[in-house]
Every structure is written in C-alpha cells, then in structure tokens.
Copies of this chain bind each other. A is one copy, B any other.
Amino acid sequence: MFSKILIANRGEIAVRILRACRTLGVEAVVAYSEADRESLAVQQADEAICIGPADAKRSYLSAPAVISAAIVSGCDAIHPGYGFLSEDEGFAEVVRAHGLTFIGPPPQVLERFASKEATRRLLGAQGLATIPGSNGMLRDDLHGLEEAERIGYPVLIKPSAGGGGKGMRMVRTPRELEAALKICRSEARAAFGDDSLYLEKWLEDNRHVEVQVAVDRFGHGVHLGERDCSVQRRHQKFLEEAPTPALGDAARGELADRAIRAIVAAGYENVGTLEFLVDPAGKAYFIEINCRIQVEHPITEMLTGIDLVVTQIRIAAGEPLGFSQADVTLRGHALEFRINAEDTQHDFRPSSGVVERYLAPGGPGVRVDSHLFTGYEVPPFYDSLLGKLIVWGPDRPTAIARSLVALDELVIDGLVTNLAIHQALLRNETFLAGKMTTNLVDRVGAAAFLAAAAR
C-alpha cells in the first residue's frame, strides 16, 4: 500500500477520497487552489498544500503543479478524482516518470483506451455490440457528410477526448451536420485541447446504461452490476439509479457478464465504467469507457457494499482484488441525485454564493456525499456540483418514496439549487414507470418539464 496519497481534486470527491484514505489508514495530502482554501477537504485533511491560483489551468489542471506538490509533500501516489487530469494519459505517464503512482489504470492502459473510436473497435473485436459509427475520426467535413450518409441520419457528433456533453450534438440532416461540426470542433478544442470528432448512429428513445467493472493487475476482474443514467439534460447526467429498470434480471446479468469478459480480454486494469446505449428492444450497444471513478459510483456501493474508491486505490497499489464475482451480491435499489448550484428558473444558470444554512437529511438508506457546510462560500470557478444525495431502498418504489422525504429534508439556504428538477422527476409518470429515455427532459425542454410537474 502507498504511504501517502496526494488528492488532486476538490469538492465532494476530494472529501470522498480523503475518507477512503483514512479508512485505509493511509496518510493523505489535499492539493487545493487558492479559491478552495476554506473548503471542507482542506479543513478535514491532516495536511493540505496550495498548488496554484483559482484558475484550474494553473492548479487542478496543471500537471507540473500537481506532481511537484506530490513530490515536496512526500507522497508516493496521486488520486486524480474525476474530471481535471483524471483521464489524461499524458499526465499519468509523467506521474510514472517521476516515480509516483497514478491511481487509476496504468499509463499504457489509459493510452490504449484514450481514443473512443479505437476503444469501440477494440471492444467490438471482443464481442461487444457497438453502435454503428464513422470509420475512424472525421478527416474533414466532406468525410463527415459521407460517413453520416452511410450510417444514416440522425447521427451524434462526438469528440474523441473528454466527456460531460461538451462537443456533442445530435443532427438530423446534412445541413445541420455541417453547421454543427464547426461548433463541436471548437467546443472540443476549448474543452479538451483536441478537436478530433467522430460520428455515432443516434438512437431515438435510447437508455443510457453503464456497467461498473474492477480488474486487478493480475487480470482478475469482476463487474459490480450496472447503473442507469438515462436521466440527462443536454447530455449531462443528473439522476442515476441502479439496477436499471430498462432490462430484466437476466438481460442485466448478461450485459454485465459480456462487459467484464470483454474488458478483461482487452487488458484493462483498475476500476472503470463501460457505457452502453440500450434501444427500445433492449439491445445494448457499447459506446465508450470511463477509466476513472464516476460521480455516480455511490449507488453501486449502496447495492454491493463494496467501497469503489478503496478498491481503486488497492488495485493501483498492486494488490489483488481479494474477492470474486460470486462475492458480489446486489441488494435493493438506489438512486443518486446530483445537487447542483443551478437556477432551474433561468436555464440552469450556475450560481454561487454563501451557504447560509446547510442540513443534510438522514435516516434509513440515506447517504450524503457533499463538501458543503454552513458558512461555506461556493467559489464561482468550478463546476456546479454541491453534493450528491444517495438513497437506497429494498425496492424501487421504496427508494423513490424515501428520496422524496430526503429531498424535502435537505436544507441549502443561500444558494439557488436544482432541487426542483429532482422533485419534478419523482412526480413524472414516465420516470415512475421506469421508462425514462435520455431525451425525457430535453424533448419538452427543462422549463416545460418543470412546469408540467408543478401542475
């Protein structure tokens, strides 16, 4: 095991990683930007180190700052959390060059899965159905038009790098495609420094289902079930649940089994998530892999009782997994609500300010992962995630009933939050029937969706 880990992230995930380190009895150092000086992770940490100014490019996204901080504070490993440097194979390589361990897949594994398009071919060869798409990256607009014609409209433009909905756009005509390619290219360049794009067949009324896997250095891998992340707004997930209501038990098991077989065969290592689109007939198409801990990992922890961050650290330290597929049992149903500082009344505009009063809900099945506290000033420089409310129940209706109570109990005064969209969802018939698709909110628009629920 490592002797000391640098936590190179902020917000709720820094708090979460700190908990994992302390549970393992490993020392941890929280790396923070000037804007996060008063953050909960810094306050809870035994040791914290300022790595740069508020601007993420000069702090959380600066590989030299992060690695230098790890070296001078005596760390032997770096946990990148999600976002920021977490999927940057160049960063992982430099970390290794400095004799430190990147907590995640080793650099050569990250590199193998760095291109979404290549990953699709790699796992397609291992027996996963993949969504029809362009043959490699788009060389230019003409190539894009030809490939879209071949695949058939509508198609989804996707960037090779990154995630979170940036540089993604669905188009229904060649004319829309041409216009969108330019926008996506500049968005992708701005967000990821890489403007390579590719195309995917767009499935109407699809579901987003992902399989959580964990593979150790010795090629021993297990899946930890799947999660349903169909509830999205503009390609951004904001409510996840498990198990997925989209598939029956047999189909869920089969999907997860195929995923873990393919990813072990492809030489993956550490925790990761395989994302699939599921069409109305229940057929699952692999779309991409996330080589890091996901925001929505807690719902899998609620079902399996397995600590995914601890597992991730152990694997990175070279330990064997220590449990087999038979040891993984899923119990009950869990939902995760991303609580964002967003104004649902004004196009989900991010908000910031001081948390005048914060009170987390409690009781059976309720877990809160958050970095809030009464008096915390939310800085305006980073993403709008304030925390996650995770609610477990023995079955989906109970989990939903408890969620309504917990959402009602949650007090965050002083900030505008997106609580209203969660409450609207829990009163939406399509959602309650478990029939939500990725276009549930966007089809009518979030404003209309909220208004409909209020009636």
Contacts and interface: CB of A to CB of B under 8 A. Distances in A.
A131 to B, nearest CB: 33
Contact of A363 (B331, B363, B365, B367): B367
Contacts of A16: 363
A415 B363 CA distance: 23
30 contacts: A15-B363, A16-B363, A19-B364, A19-B402, A19-B405, A22-B404, A22-B405, A22-B408, A23-B401, A23-B402, A23-B405, A25-B401, A44-B409, A298-B364, A301-B364, A305-B332, A305-B392, A306-B394, A307-B364, A329-B331, A331-B331, A359-B374, A360-B362, A362-B367, A362-B368, A362-B369, A362-B370, A366-B367, A367-B367, A373-B411
A22 B364 CA distance: 13
Interface residues of A, number: 42
Nearest to A363: B19
Contacts of A301: 364
A369 B373 contact: no
A374 B373 CA distance: 10
Interface in A393-426: 394, 398, 401-402, 404-405, 408-409, 411
Contacts of A375: 357
Contacts of A44: 408-409
A23 B15 CA distance: 30
A415 to B, nearest CB: 16
A326 to B, nearest CB: 15
A363 B369 contact: yes
A319 to B, nearest CB: 15
Interface of A: 15-16, 19, 22-25, 44, 298, 301, 305-307, 329, 331-332, 357-360, 362-370, 373-375, 392, 394, 398, 401-402, 404-405, 408-409, 411
Contacts of A331: 305, 329, 331
A44 B370 CA distance: 22
Contacts of A366: 367
Given A19-B363, A24-B401, A359-B374, 14 more contacts: A15-B362, A15-B363, A16-B363, A19-B364, A19-B405, A23-B398, A305-B332, A306-B394, A358-B359, A358-B374, A360-B362, A362-B367, A362-B368, A362-B370
A25 B398 CA distance: 11
B373 A359 contact: yes
A359 B355 CA distance: 13
Nearest to A361: B19
Contacts of A362: 15, 360, 367-370
Nearest to A302: B364
Contacts of A357: 373-375
